[in-house]
Amino acid sequence: MSTEDDFKPVRSKGWSFGLLSTEEFGEEEKELVLGVLDKKRVFRFYGSDKEQSEAYKLEKLYRERTGAKHALAVNAGTSALVAALIGAGIGPGDEVIVPAYTYIATAAAVLIARAVPVIVEVDDSLTMNPQSFEAAITPYTKAVIPVHMRGVPCRMDEIMETAERHGIIVIEDVAQANGGSYKGKPLGSIGRAGCFSFQQFKLITAGEGGMVVTNDDKLYGRSNIYHDSAFVYWDMNAEHLEPPFPGENYRMSELNAALALAQSQRIDAIVSKLRRIKTAITAGIGDLPQIRLQSIPDPQGDVSYSLVFYLPTYERARQFSGLLAREGIPNGTIDNKGFADRHIYKNWTYVLEKRGASEQDTPWNCRSYKGNVQYSPDMCPQTLDWLGRAVTIGLHQRMTEEDCDDVIKAIRKTAGA
């Protein structure tokens, strides 16, 4: 028999958590940003003392965090991917394998480098399926970009083994997983290069910004040249031996660098809180037979700001999500045939239609490309199945034990219904 409590939502108070990054803005950000204005140095290459540059200090911090020999601050996460691809020698005629679930910028960066993206399945971790990666390799495959989606580390052992066996360059997309790791190694330090984003929706923000880390001298030298169209003519280029070639202007400003520097000093503290929160919630719902938790290749390396679980069917996922919202817990389904989420490959219109900035000359029809990659909205059915059955709840470092208990109770109540 139903009781009054059965109809009363688990949570009646609001869910007012802001973004992971900007909620942490405080005195450190103000001090460093105002310090840039006091120094009147907003361009990193102004003056002879490079160590006074906030961008230089930010690069030093990421070299130390990742153990990389080199770090290059740029103006966006997409710019980091493009610079790394160009740095690795990727260009016309090459294919680069990307997962079917990642922000469209991953595929766009490949196209900007004049290479061809090859889209492959993700598995129940919502990261690249290693078997699909290997099956997609052709004589034209030059690189692969595993994306640590939603803070979850990819299956890097399998990906690296396959890549090394086939001589394929690995460039990690760490845009959504700053502070994560895989079997003790910082994400971004496992492949030939790692690329970070400091956009506002990321764990650490500068509003916009990015970072390339690498141990490869040649990749770093070429990335440097590409990120600044005049870089080879600055005095500090004397240490680089790469011949000059045309580049973009992807430089990071000192204001963005100051903001990212203040924020980045908090990474470990924020991730530690998020892991405790996610561990508590998953422990409270892990026994439910009605749902299946997302597979995490290395739970100790998960950044843990996203809780994902699956229902048996698309219809059940939509129903579960709606009931959970009625219990006062904001959540969402991922592929719900509503908003055209640009993280899902079937919504990458210009990629699927092979449209470039020029109709006459695109990476697909240029003379250098000898492959024949094909796309269709249904080309990755496993990915669409996982995304269609997924329910996701955003986690926040400010969540209390009471908040976690509410999530657990609401999920258990909804599962029981």
> What confidence score (pLDDT) does residue 345 get?
98
CA distance 214 to 197: 15
Is 221 part of any domain? yes
In degrees, rounded to 5, the angle at the alpha carbon of residue 417 between the alpha carbons of residues 16 and 316 is 80
Give the DSSP per-residue string, 215-268: S-HHHHHHHHHHTBTTGGGSGGGGG--SPP----B-BPPHHHHHHHHHHHTTHH
Strand 306-310 relative to strand 292-293: parallel, antiparallel, unpaired? Answer: antiparallel
Is 202 part of any domain? yes
pTM: 0.96
SS3 state at 71: strand
Q: How many domains does the chain have?
A: 1
In degrees, rounded to 5, the angle at the alpha carbon of residue 277 between the alpha carbons of residues 342 and 191 is 50
> What confidence score (pLDDT) does residue 47 get?
74
Give 371: exposed, middle or buried? Use CB within 10 Å, 0-12, 13-18, 19+.
Answer: middle
Tokens of 134: 């290997």
Torsion-angle region of 207 (φ positive above 0: left; ψ -120 to 50: alpha; else: beta):
left
Contact 143, 167 (CB under 8 A): no
Q: What are phi and psi of 118, to 5 degrees?
A: -115, 120
Q: How many CA atoms lie within 13 A of 28 on its CB side?
A: 14
Is 174 part of any domain? yes
Q: For residues 290-325, b (16+ Cβ closer than 10 Å) or e, as one string?
A: bbeebbbbbeebbbbbbbbbbbeebeebbebbebbe
Is 400 part of any domain? no
Q: For residue 199, what are the domain limits?
A: 27-265
Name the helix (H) or strand (E) containing 70: strand 70-74
CA distance 258 to 33: 5
> What confidence score (pLDDT) does residue 237 get?
56
> What confidence score (pLDDT) does residue 274 get?
98
Give 399: exposed, middle or buried? Use CB within 10 Å, 0-12, 13-18, 19+.
Answer: buried
Is 403 part of any domain? no
User: CB atoms < 10 A from the CB of 243, how many?
Assistant: 9
CA distance 345 to 383: 9
Is 166 part of any domain? yes
Round to the nearest angstrom and report the end-to-end CA distance of the chain. 13
Mean pLDDT by 10 residues, the chain (417 residues): 69 91 95 95 84 94 98 98 98 98 98 98 98 98 98 98 98 98 98 98 96 97 92 64 89 97 97 98 97 98 98 97 97 85 96 93 96 97 98 97 98 95
User: CB atoms < 10 A from the CB of 164, how many?
Assistant: 10
> What confidence score (pLDDT) does residue 264 get?
97
Is 41 part of any domain? yes
> What confidence score (pLDDT) does residue 239 get?
64
Tokens of 363: 């990476």
> What confidence score (pLDDT) does residue 142 get?
98
Chain position carrying tokens 């004589």: 139
Is 183 part of any domain? yes
Tokens of 404: 């976690």
CA distance 20 to 164: 36
The CATH number for 148's domain is 3.40.640.10
Contact 413, 327 (CB under 8 A): yes
Chain position carrying tokens 């239609």: 353
